[in-house]
Amino acid sequence: MALISVGIDHEHASLDLLERATIVEHEWNKVLRSLMSQRNIHEAVFVSTCLRTEVVAVIDRFHGAIEEITRTLSDVTGLAPDKFADHLTVHFDRGVANHLFGVAAGLHSVVLGEFEVLGQLRRALELAVEEQTAGTELSDLFQRAIASGRRVRHETQIARGTTSFAQASVSMATNEHGVNLNDAIVVVIGAGQLASGIARNLLNSPSRLRRLTICNRTLARAESLRAELRDDRVHVAPLHDVAACITEARLVVAAIEIATPIVTRRDLERCDQNVLFVDLGLPRAIASNVQGLDHVRRVDIGDLRERIEQALGDRHDAVDAARDIVVEDVEKYLTDQRARGASVIVSELREYFDDVVAGEWIRREHDFDDLTVAQRETVASLVRSVVAKIAHRPTIALKEAAGTDQGTRLSESTRTLFDL
């Protein structure tokens, strides 16, 4: 069996395609069940964020698995395979670890080093474990990648300054678009991790907001976030009240997963004062056709990506340091994986020899009827000693070569020779 990852991401696909390929989180379990019904897939983790839709799996046949994953993505997104097949990013075996560790480090994020991706990977793994689609191999891979991502942020400067969508969106609204937040009413649509970060950044900004309203489909989650924020300026409202809430707002930030825009063109037309809409959702949560609306400005992830790329040009040293850590951690992960593989095959080889001895002893037991108990034990001890000496050299060779290409070849040869 082998590892594979197949995905669509912002580095290789347009935002329009990513929007159409995004699967809301409460439907991930359906995707996992569909993947596990495929012939060549033995373990699977699925993650779909605003900038990445990806499957990581333990598979049998490479090409068969590619076809099955592509077919599954087509079924769950409603996209014909020819609409996205040329934009798929595929990694195999060692490349999967390189890729996933880099994603966890924030090296493939719009905002270099952003921390939201760690939570996304963790939730994807937790759901796969809950659905029993992630076994030992994928659990270890994701846990090690997440740990490496934390190490990168702790040991390098990649995470200095603006390091999240939350910080970047607030910074863009206030610094680049000149939104004056003093005595402003602000609306945040959503109450998840990203929305939480945005709310915290807004409340902690030097400007003094008059009110921050959190609109969310689940009021209990919005109330929970208000309790966490501990700020009297925070109010909550149900999602169906968002049209009324935005008419008073100076800034509206959407950080929500929703199939169709929750703020329509008609809602935007009701705004009679200057308001900036920052749409961080994919699929988009705010109608994009704002032409002719004098009071309305709208920016989305595409605008955010361009500005961040310009602003973070001085992080080359930090990126190099982060990549060095990723390389080191990937090598250690792969070495540990191979060592575990050697340990397993050594155990299987010894068990094989023990079974041969036990089987032959039972088959020839009557040949020793004339021996005393002590003599029988002497013969048994001699046989075990001979077998141990025969097994010693292969065992040492497998252990010494663990973590190398030679070790992989020896393991494969041993399995073939002894039918393990």
**Who has greater pLDDT, 384 or 330?**
330
Q: Let me know if residue 327 belongs to a domain.
A: no
Comparing CA positions, the residue from 244, 249, 179 lying closest to residue 212 is 249
112/125 same-domain check:
yes
Answer yes or no: are the C-beta atoms of 250 and 202 closer than 8 Å.
Answer: no
pLDDT in tens, 187-214: 999 988 778 888 998 998 888 899 999 9
* Predicted pLDDT of residue 341: 66
178 and 265 part of one domain: yes
Residue type, 137: E
Residue 324 has pLDDT above 90, yes or no: yes
Angle, vertex CA 282, rays to CA 120 and CA 145, nearest 5: 20
Q: How far apart are the first and last CA of the chain?
A: 15
pLDDT, one tens digit per residue, over 47-97 is: 987 678 999 999 988 999 999 999 999 999 899 999 898 999 999 988 999
DSSP E strands in 294-395: the ranges are: 296-300
CA angle (210 as vertex; 279, 239 as ends), nearest 5: 45
Residue 356 located in a structural domain = no
Are residues 10 and 149 both part of a single domain? yes
**Do the beta carbons of residue 215 and residue 226 sit within 8 Å?**
no
Crossing angle of the two packed helices 94-104 and 116-130, in degrees rounded to 10: 130
- Final residue before a domain boundary, out of 237, 272, 306: 306
Q: Answer yes or no: is 389 within a domain.
A: no
Instruction: Examine residue 247 and state whether it is found in any structural domain, yes or no.
Output: yes
Residues 242 and 296 in one domain: yes
Q: Which string of DSSP letters, residue by residue, matches 97-160?
A: HHHHHHHHTTTTSSSTT-SHHHHHHHHHHHHHHHTT---HHHHHHHHHHHHHHHHHHHHSSTTS
Residues 347-367: tens digit of each pLDDT: 888 888 888 888 888 888 888
Q: Return the pLDDT at 313.
A: 56
Token pair listed for 316: 């080359």
CA nearest to 45, candidates 151, 140, 109: 140
Q: Are residues 203 and 172 in the same domain?
A: yes
pLDDT digits (tens, 9 = 90+) for 128-177: 999 999 999 999 999 999 999 999 999 988 876 545 667 777 777 777 77
Evaluate whether residue 412 is within a structural domain. Answer: no
Q: What CATH number should be reported for the domain holding residue 14?
A: 3.30.460.30
Q: Which residue has the tokens 């009297």?
A: 232
From 161, 193, 213, the end of a domain falls on: 161
Alpha-carbon gap, residue 139 to 125, rounded angstroms: 7
Cβ-based neighbours of 107, under 8 Å, separated by 6 or more: 319, 322, 323, 326
For residue 395, which of 418, 414, 420 has the smallest C-alpha distance? 414
Print the domain residue range for 77. 2-161
Query: Would you say residue 241 lies in a domain?
Result: yes
Domain end (from 270, 287, 306): 306
Of 30-34, 174-178, 395-399, minimum mean pLDDT range: 174-178
CB-CB neighbours of 74 under 10 Å: 17
Let me know whether 147 and 170 are in one domain: no
**H or E segment at 62?**
helix 62-77
Tell me 403's DSSP state. Answer: T
Strand partners, 91: 5
Sheet holding 89-92, edge to edge: 41-49, 52-59, 2-9, 89-92
Higher pLDDT, residue 109 or 66: 66
Helices (H), 156-300: 165-171, 193-203, 219-229, 242-245, 265-269
Inside any domain, residue 314: no
Mind telling me the catalytic residues?
A: 50
State whether 136 and 235 are in the same domain.
Answer: no
Looking at the 3D structure of the chain, how many domains does it have? 2
Question: CA–CA separation, 326 vs 99, rounded Å?
Answer: 10
